[in-house]
């Protein structure tokens, strides 16, 4: 048995032409369409490891050593203490400063961009240029989400 499918091309001045088909051709076409819509197996993605300069990393500042250090302004006045360092979801670093108070009582927590801090070579002297304790206390108080 022979079947014909008419294919019309719009916008052309051609006459429609017949394409001979068979039951096998139609079955193969349907099988190909079904196979192309089937879910593909999930392939595991490899993680590309990057070789880092371990000496540059070792020369960096450890968060555990920065936390608890005093922060001073340009006049070398203590304006706060680093309470925490937070990595934002966008991978930007922030320093949480405890301003005022004593032993975490009566103080005001603020978040400042880590890039605003100026650290000496050892990381023991941390400066926030242009800041005063009064100006920091006027910033919105930082509260942990969880």
Rounded to two decimals, the pTM is 0.64
* SS3 per residue for the chain: CCEEEEECCCCCCCCCEEEEECHHHHHHHHHHHHHHHCCCCCCCCCCCCCCCCHHHHHCCCCHHHHCCCEEECCCCCEEEEEEEEEECCCCCEEEEEEECCECCECCEEEEEEHHHCEECCCCCCEECCCCCHHHHHCCCCCCCCC
| pLDDT tens per residue, range 23-76 | 666 666 666 666 655 566 666 678 889 899 999 999 999 999 999 999 999 999
At the fourth CATH level, the homologous superfamily of domain 62-137 is PRC-barrel domain (2.30.30.240)
Extents of the domains making up the chain: 62-137
| Mean of the per-residue pLDDT values of the chain | 81
Q: What's the pLDDT at 45?
A: 76
């Amino acid at each position: 048995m022979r079947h014909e499918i008419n294919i019309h091309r719009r916008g052309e001045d051609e006459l429609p032409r017949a394409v001979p088909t068979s039951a096998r051709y139609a079955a193969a076409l349907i099988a190909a369409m079904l196979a192309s819509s089937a879910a593909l197996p999930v392939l595991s993605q490899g993680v590309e490891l990057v070789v880092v300069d371990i000496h540059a990393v070792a020369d960096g500042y450890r968060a555990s050593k920065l936390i608890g250090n005093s922060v001073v302004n340009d006049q070398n006045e203590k304006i706060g203490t680093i309470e925490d360092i937070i990595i934002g979801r966008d991978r930007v670093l922030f320093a949480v400063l405890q301003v005022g108070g004593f032993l975490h009582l009566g103080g005001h927590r603020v978040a400042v961009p880590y890039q605003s801090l100026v650290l000496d070579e050892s990381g023991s002297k941390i400066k926030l240029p242009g800041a005063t304790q009064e100006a920091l206390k006027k910033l919105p108080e930082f509260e942990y989400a969880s």
